[in-house]
Amino acid sequence: MRKITDNTEYPGYLLKCQEKLLLDSGKVISDFQVAYQTYGNLNDDKDNAILICHALTGDQFPAEESPITKKKGWWDLMVGPNRPIDTNKYFVICSNVLGGCVGTTGPNDINPETNKIYGPDFPTITIRDMVKVQKILVDKLGISKLLSVVGGSMGAMQVLQWAATYPESLKSIISIAGSLKHSAQNIAFDEAGRQSIMLDPNWDNGRYPEKNQKPENGLSVARMIAHITYLSEKAFQNKFGRNLQEKKDLSFGFGIDFQVESYLHHQGRSFVDRFDANSYLYMTRAMDYFDVSAEIQHNQDKIIKNGIRFLVLSFTSDWLFPTKESKEIVSVLNSIGSNVSFAEVVSDRGHDSFLLDEPQFFKVCDGFLKGIR
């Protein structure tokens, strides 16, 4: 049974599914739920729906005020009235991914089989598992074909997975700062972050929720490591240089001397208040396992038959998901005869450019969506 209710913990809704969800690993999750938010109105033909797929540390609140941070939503520049994803025109859906920590079933939730928190007993998930759950939600909303599926970073992985697995259910996708598969370098960064969490004594082999504690130091360091990859060298230099933090001279110690150090510490501290460490482990592992290239090739006839339009976007200064990886997406899609457009946006702000005020980026996305019928 699948039932939609109001979300009593956060704004938005819950889809409660009393059924078994078979995962890529062969494991099964029973009685799961999906937390989601919507913006705008679904038209009578139900053909104006856009699904937004969030990145690693995102959630279901891309627009308006976030109940998590009490700040503007993580994609408020992109989603809203008169924005590129215009909620006056489109019905926008965004759900917290499977394995997340903002309402959708994840490792910090109760395992119905044991009545205890999953913790490390939560099964390993994949990007395909996340998308399978999103498809269940879209079906429950009565939408047979999405106008577009849009996402950046880990969101771009989900977008490409949608095209590969459910090509009959969408008209277009926008893949932003993504790749066909996670690179060795990115797997290495993910592993460094995971080890920082797992080596924190408070992680307690993933059982920390049972003791009402958190591996705060480990999760904070993991966030610091990751955040370095989100900015370009020029962005760091322009923002901080070698400026000292509220002092005139070096301390000749190991406290915070530089502004960039203070910035990273702030990013780490603020992150532990809104994110779950075990979710971080599971979601980065899902990214590591991602490789959709073979599935696109295998389902090429369905992709072509359904006439999906693709927009692939990259940023010149993004070294986490560099332009060459977006060009690999374009190459594979071209090899199967897809209708694909590509744009490299000039920006010196690194991977996070897709979350920032980038007029050229907004213009390309807006124009592409207006051309989808």
Q: Which residue of the set 153, 169, 172, 279 is catalytic?
A: 153
Instruction: Provide CB contacts within 8 A for 338, sequence distance 6+.
Output: 303, 304, 308, 310
To the query of whether residue 153 is one of the catalytic residues in this protein, the response is yes
User: Considering 129, 190, 276, 318, which one is annotated as catalytic?
Assistant: 318
**318 noted as active-site residue:** yes
Could you give the CA distance from residue 218 to residue 230 in angstroms, rounded to a whole number?
A: 19
Active site residue 288: no
Known catalytic residues are 153, 318, 351
